[in-house]
């Protein structure tokens, strides 16, 4: 009889544990959403390179694929992103004694409209802006690709955290 109860208990434990679930994330990201749709972000910034819209849109998609388990869908995701590139500016920021810039700054601004179909309180429309400085001895064309990559990483991380982070 003791073996019978032991066998029953051992058979029940896996069934009970199968229904237990713990979600933990080092990024603080938590959502019940299973799908996300990210529309193309066109550029209305006159100084942005022609390829920047595509690069930014792909960066935003990549961060969701890398840092969440949310499936990317073409349209009508439970989480929806759309917007446009509204600023792409290059300006001197640190002037030396001889009135020449020691540093230049590339600043990119993106307007984002976020819709959470599961919780409308999370919806927002706002601008995100990030910059990177570079030595004035280099031309923008020489460093632009790396600056864009660095800025996109910061922008997309901020957008992800604003949309589904618990900060």
Here the CATH number for the domain that contains residue 111 is 3.30.160.150
pLDDT category, 24, cuts 50, 70, 90? very low
Within a domain: residue 11?
A: no
- The pairs formed by 158-162 with CB atoms below 8 angstroms and a separation of 24 or more are 158/128, 158/130, 159/60, 159/63, 159/81, 159/110, 159/112, 159/114, 159/128, 160/27, 160/29, 160/63, 160/64, 160/67, 160/68, 161/27, 161/28, 161/29, 162/114, 162/124, 162/126, 162/128
Overall domain count for the chain? 1
Domain of 61 in residue numbering reads as 31-164
Q: Once rounded to an integer, what is the mean pLDDT over residues 146-160?
A: 97
Within a domain: residue 69?
A: yes
Q: What is the pTM (predicted TM-score) of this model?
A: 0.79
Q: Once rounded to an integer, what is the mean pLDDT over residues 96-108?
A: 83
Within a domain: residue 23?
A: no
Within a domain: residue 17?
A: no
Q: How does pLDDT run across 32-56, given as a tens digit for each residue?
A: 899 999 999 999 999 999 999 999 9
């Amino acid at each position: 009889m003791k073996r019978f109860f032991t066998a029953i208990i051992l058979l029940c434990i896996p069934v009970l544990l199968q229904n237990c679930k713990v979600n933990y994330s080092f990024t603080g990201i938590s959502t019940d959403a299973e799908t996300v749709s990210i529309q193309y972000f066109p550029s209305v910034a006159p100084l942005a390179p022609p390829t920047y819209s595509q690069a930014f849109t792909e960066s935003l998609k990549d961060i969701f694929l890398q840092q969440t388990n949310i499936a990317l869908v073409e349209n009508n995701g439970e989480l929806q992103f759309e917007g446009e590139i509204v600023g792409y500016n290059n300006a001197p920021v640190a002037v030396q004694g001889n009135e020449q810039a020691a540093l230049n700054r590339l600043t990119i601004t993106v307007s984002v409209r976020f819709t959470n179909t599961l919780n409308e309180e999370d919806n927002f429309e706002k601008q995100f802006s990030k910059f990177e400085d570079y030595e004035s001895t280099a031309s923008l064309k020489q460093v632009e690709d790396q600056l864009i990559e660095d800025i996109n990483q910061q922008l997309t991380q901020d957008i992800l955290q604003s949309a589904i982070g618990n900060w």
